[in-house]
Amino acid sequence: MIELFITDIDGCLASPYEAYDLTGLDTLRRLPHEADTAPALTLCSGRSYPYVEAMTQALALTTPVLFEAGGGQFDPVAAQTAWSPHLTDEVEAKLRTVERWFATECVPGTQISIDHAKRTQTGVVSPKGDEIRALRPQAEQFVAEETPGLHVFATDISVDVVPPGITKRDGVEWLADRLGLALDETAYIGDAETDLEALNAVGTSFAPANADATVRAQVDHVTEGTVLDGVLEAFRYCRAQNDS
């Protein structure tokens, strides 16, 4: 049985900087409650706590969710937040060093902005893909020279710097352990490089049709639909598998 269905937000529930499909989100909100065989629904996103908490409320979720790519866990029933045990004072100091470099050397004169409100990682976003593509190798060089041990990940709109032990895979393992689930009882849908380790860890993996080619090549199933349509398709597939 697939007991838990985990979805990323950007590229899965919505496209960055585009309007939400409110009808589709309402459909997703209802799906876990339409049959006893439906898996529980939760989120795993690189976004900060306030954004993920808002999405949790919009979807009326009761299962704990993951934010900051597994760096934090929020329980919507108890209204409690927990932080990864891998977050140490030394790690936080390194992250703040990278954040200062982003602010002073990368942001001025561009449309790049700091991805605010994050604690367990640091990053920047931009609506201009060419700025992100140019920044990634610069960030990799800075991290290698000034804050070794941290890792650089990128999407079409962001560059994120994260510590070891704080990845979406680590977050999924942390959440599964809390819920008393084996990883093969979980399904995950993601679209970007930052999702790959989690996708490879779970029992059933999905990518929406809009996912990066490297992601589509490694998952169990690529949906016909894009973004939220793909998530709805994947969730219904899991429920049908449980029915059978």
* pLDDT for the residue 105: 96
pLDDT of residue 20: 96
* Mean pLDDT for the chain overall: 96
Q: Give the pLDDT of residue 160.
A: 92
> pLDDT above 70 covers what percent of the chain?
100
In the predicted model, is pLDDT for residue 17 greater than 90? Answer: no
Element (H, E) at 75: strand 72-75
Does the pLDDT of residue 120 top 90, yes or no? yes
Residue with tokens 């393992």: 173
Cα 134 to chain centroid distance, Å, stands at: 23
User: Cα separation of 217 and 66, whole Å?
Assistant: 25
> Would you state the torsion angle of the CA atoms of residues 74, 76, 78, 84, taken in this order, to the nearest 10 degrees?
-10
**Residue 156 confidence (pLDDT):** 85
pTM of the model: 0.89
Confidence category of residue 155, pLDDT binned at 50, 70, 90? confident
User: pLDDT tens, 28-76?
Assistant: 999 999 999 999 999 999 999 999 999 999 999 999 999 999 999 999 9
Quote the pLDDT of residue 113.
95
Q: Could you identify the residue written with the tokens 């409650």?
A: 33
Sheet holding 204-207, edge to edge: 40-43, 4-7, 186-189, 204-207, 221-222
Tell me whether residue 116 is exposed, middle or buried, using C-beta atoms within 10 angstroms of its C-beta: 0 to 12, 13 to 18, 19 or more: exposed
For residue 110, count other CB atoms closer than 10 A to its CB: 13
Structure confidence at residue 116 (pLDDT): 85
| 112-116 mean pLDDT | 92
Local confidence band at 14 (pLDDT 50, 70, 90 cut-offs): very high
